[in-house]
Amino acid sequence: MAIVKRFEDLDVYKLGMEIFRDVWTLCRNLPRTEFALMDQMKRSALSIISNIAEGYERNSRKEFI
């Protein structure tokens, strides 16, 4: 198993970033009347990568996993 020095190098983080970009692109095409839906989708996508970054910064392996 390789040692990860940055959370940005994790495959799961890279996939999360793809999801994040796809959601933001999708939201650009939604009508402005769907603001609440767009906001929820964007916050959810951001939460994925934020949780990975936060877990990486924890001091224990169990928290990171």
- Domains of the chain, by residue range, sit at 7-64
Query: Token pair for residue 14?
Result: 């890279």
Residue 61 confidence (pLDDT): 72
3-state helix, strand, coil in the chain (%, to 5): 80, 0, 20
Residue 8 confidence (pLDDT): 92
Query: Token pair for residue 60?
Result: 């224990």
Biggest alpha carbon distance in the chain?
A: 48
**Amino acid type, 6:** R
What pTM, to 2 d.p., does this model score?
0.79
Residue 3 confidence (pLDDT): 78
How far, in Å, CA of 26 to CA of 19, rounded? 10
Residues in the chain, how many? Answer: 65
pLDDT tens digits for 17-64?
999 999 999 999 999 899 999 999 999 999 999 999 988 888 677 766
